[in-house]
Amino acid sequence: MSTDAAGLGRRRAVGFVLPALVLIGVFLVFPALWTVYLGLTDFRLTGLAAADPKMVGADNYTAALADERFHSSFWLTAQFVAGSAIAGQAGLGFAVAWALRDRPGPVKRAVEGVVLLAWILPSSVVAFLWLALLDRDQGTLNALLHTPGFAWLLDHPMPSIIAFNIWRGTAFSMMLYGAALASVPPSHLETARLAGASTFQQLRDVVFPHIRGHILTNLLLISLWTFNDFTTYQITAGGPEGRSEILPVYIYNVALSGGQLGFGAAVSFLVLLVNLVLALVYLRLLRERKGAVA
């Protein structure tokens, strides 16, 4: 009887897990394997290669690694992640959370609502708002600065999309850090203040050690999201002259606009490997932190 009950329990467990496994297989595993396959072919959207693609082995990967345009896109993506995610969203998100930690309810809710608004709006709406803000002829920013005709998106495309992504994504870091700061014992901060510690010393010696795990988790998530962000295409489409063509935009331009699906799939797989490396680095730091705490 016990054996039958155990078998029934296993079947029920499999029944509960099976739908999730099917979804993972259909929407994650199969697309990943299909991308690997396409990356080994000369598949194109048009022409003979579309009707009868040929296996080319690692040619697409070697071509991508030797492509100056790929190198430029990778460097621009590194700048985009460092500027908008690590320095921008994480830094500004923590600053807002720290400034609001002791503020009264109405003020805190008002500021959080304004910051959250940029995060919950559809990406296309946010992109349109920034196009209106930075427009050369009738842009709001030029009107405020009294600089009519200044082409922000043409002259400074990377700073423009970095500022756009900071404004759009700071809310997540703000919420995560706000929850993390609530776990810092107030008595520790009060003791540090009574000892004459400055704000910087309080952050360094009291706050950051308590929320280090939250910081690493936040950096992992926003780095991966930013590394794979495609919304900037609606702002600059990678231009002018490829000066804001980060890797997701580069893949789109090569694979869909250029029709080189095989080559684009190979670049996508290289981007996946970079994401895995980033994730492994952050996870190792998290494990080291847990080991130190234990």
Choose the most confident range, by mean pLDDT, from 55-59, 94-98, 101-105.
94-98
Task: State how far the Cα of 139 lies from the Cα of 132, in Å rounded to an integer.
Answer: 5
pLDDT at 208 over 60: yes
For residue 16, what pLDDT is reported?
80
Spell out the domain ranges in the chain.
Answer: 68-293
Q: How many CB atoms lie within 10 A of CB 277?
A: 10
Give the per-residue pLDDT at 290.
Answer: 62
CATH architecture of 68-293: Orthogonal Bundle (1.10)
What's the chain's Rg over C-alpha atoms? 24
232 secondary structure, DSSP code: G
Of the listed ranges 201-210, 212-221, 283-292, the one predicted with least confidence = 283-292
Q: Please state, for a pLDDT cut of 70, what percent of the chain lies above it.
A: 95
Cis ω for the linkage preceding 157 (within 30 of 0)? no
For the chain, what percent of residues have pLDDT higher than 90? 33
* pLDDT tens track for 145-198: 888 888 888 889 999 999 999 999 999 999 999 989 888 888 888 888 888 888
Question: What does the pLDDT look like over 132-141, one tens digit per residue?
Answer: 888 888 788 8
When pLDDT is cut at 50, 70 and 90, the band that residue 289 belongs to is low
Supply the pLDDT for residue 3. Answer: 62
**pLDDT tops 50 at residue 1:** no
- pLDDT for residue 213: 87
Q: Please say whether the beta carbons of 250 and 267 come within 8 A.
A: yes
Nearest to 171 by CA among 102, 103, 112, 232: 112
- Chain center to CA of 165: 9
Q: What is the mean pLDDT of the chain?
A: 86
Q: What is the DSSP letter of 243?
A: T
Q: How far apart are CA 283 and CA 294, in angstroms?
A: 16
Amino acid at 143: A
pLDDT tens-digit readout, 97-129: 998 887 777 888 888 888 888 888 888 888 888
Structure letter (DSSP) for residue 68 = H
pLDDT of residue 144: 85
The mean pLDDT of 251-269, rounded to a whole number, is 90
Cα separations (Å) of 164 from 23, 158, 226, 238, 247? Answer: 34, 10, 12, 14, 17
Q: What global pTM score does this model have?
A: 0.87
